[in-house]
Amino acid sequence: MEISKDILYVGVDDKEIDLFEGQYKVPNGISYNSYIIVDEKVAVVDSVDKNFGDKWLSNIHYELGQKNPDYLIVQHMEPDHSANIMSFAERYPDSIIVASQKAFGMMKNFFGTDFADRRLVAGEGDTLSLGKHVLTFVTAPMVHWPEVIVSYDSYEKVLFSADAFGKFGALDADEEWADEARRYYIGIVGKYGVQVQALLEKAKALDIQKILPLHGPALYENLGYYLGLYDTWSRYVPEEKGTLIAYTSIYGNTKKAAQLLYERLIAEGENATIYDLARDDFFAAVGDAFRFDKVVLATTTYNGDMFPDMRKFIFALIERGFKNRKVALIENGSWGPVAAKKMKAMLETSEGIEFTENTVKILSALSADSISQIENLKEELLK
């Protein structure tokens, strides 16, 4: 597949995977992207997952025929992009491995060698000339591993962006980029907003016309949209106005309260979504918590604390830098409700969290009083 006359796609789609990194549901699979730059010298950019090593090498051979690559550029050492470095090195013994110093240290851990006899260390601002294509390397530490570099081709104005600007879903998945890119970013990169901001600042100095990530489609048009979303996500400010309702429920009573609030918000024209944290896509809920400016958490008091799935959810938010949101709490308890107190204590460690004045307390089941509290909370959220 051609990206351009000189840049070829040799990655693969993985439609067999069920959980990416052992936790993220990927019903539409995922792509592992790899590229070839063909010039006076030939460079392959990144590898693919171990399960597709033979297919990847076959793709390279199909595109190059009897011509051998001069370089393998390793931007990121996570195994879904680096697992086949040794296979490549054995297939093409005269090729040079290009990577950051930290990446070569990781290769020693993964493969037992750091390729000392055939390596080129790439640091900030270093260049590699392939002919008319000249690559400039930009370090991107902790986006989202410490060894990451990205590569800018000044001839075609292409940024090979490593894991940045990636998304879940195979390349032929018919879906909105933002939804799966948000879930990918918040889940995997979300903790590292400061480092993403640093990379975006470096990107401002480059004339970028195309972005080629390691997951998901090549980005050609309206690049300001994608860059803008990354700026928003990495500054931890809401992407849009709206309300996420996330709940856990044991016997259905807390669910009824969450559902009632959701229905009343929707009836008033509010942009809202609702998740059962025990059954729905957990990390889609995490992503939407960062998407909207308001979050409602509803859970049951359980063993003198909150229900475990809610604790897991709040921890997932905090771990990824959750801040600058309005938060409302709904608690249920038959004899000693303390869930709201426990949820608030966890969230008070985050910056810029504003709690609503109204907190809903349910004693076992919905009553006229708790329904009235839900109405009051609805009015406050709509303000």
Cβ neighbours of residue 152 closer than 8 Å, sequence gap 6 or more: 135, 136, 137, 138, 158, 159, 160, 206, 208
Q: Kindly state whether residues 219 and 253 are assigned to the same domain.
A: no
Low-confidence ranges of the chain (pLDDT < 70): none
Domain count for the chain: 2
The predicted pLDDT at position 39 comes to: 98
Nearest-angstrom CA–CA distance, 178 and 219 = 12
The predicted pLDDT at position 192 comes to: 95
Nearest-angstrom CA–CA distance, 6 and 351 = 47
Residue 383 inside a domain? The answer is no
Q: Within 10 Å of residue 311's Cβ, how many Cβ atoms?
A: 18
Question: Both ends of the chain: CA-CA distance in Å?
Answer: 51
The predicted pLDDT at position 336 comes to: 87
Residue 344 inside a domain? The answer is yes
Q: Kindly state whether residues 130 and 202 are assigned to the same domain.
A: yes
In 11-109, where do the E strands start and end? 12-14, 19-20, 24-25, 30-32, 35-38, 42-45, 71-73, 96-99
The predicted pLDDT at position 335 comes to: 87
Q: What percent of the chain has pLDDT over 90?
A: 97
The predicted pLDDT at position 2 comes to: 83
Q: Kindly state whether residues 87 and 25 are assigned to the same domain.
A: yes
Question: ∠ CA(252), CA(245), CA(143), 5° rounding?
Answer: 130
Q: Kindly state whether residues 52 and 180 are assigned to the same domain.
A: yes
Q: Kindly state whether residues 225 and 264 are assigned to the same domain.
A: no
* Whole-prediction pTM: 0.91
**What pLDDT digit, counting tens, does each position of 334-348 carry?**
888 999 999 999 999
Phi-psi region of 346 (alpha: psi -120 to 50; beta: other; left: phi over 0): alpha
The predicted pLDDT at position 64 comes to: 96
- Alpha carbon 336 to its chain's center: 39
CATH number, domain containing residue 280: 3.40.50.360
Q: What is the DSSP letter of 68?
A: P
Nearest-angstrom CA–CA distance, 60 and 70 = 12
Range of the domain at 350: 244-378
Residue 1 inside a domain? The answer is no
Nearest to 239 by CA among 301, 296, 293: 293
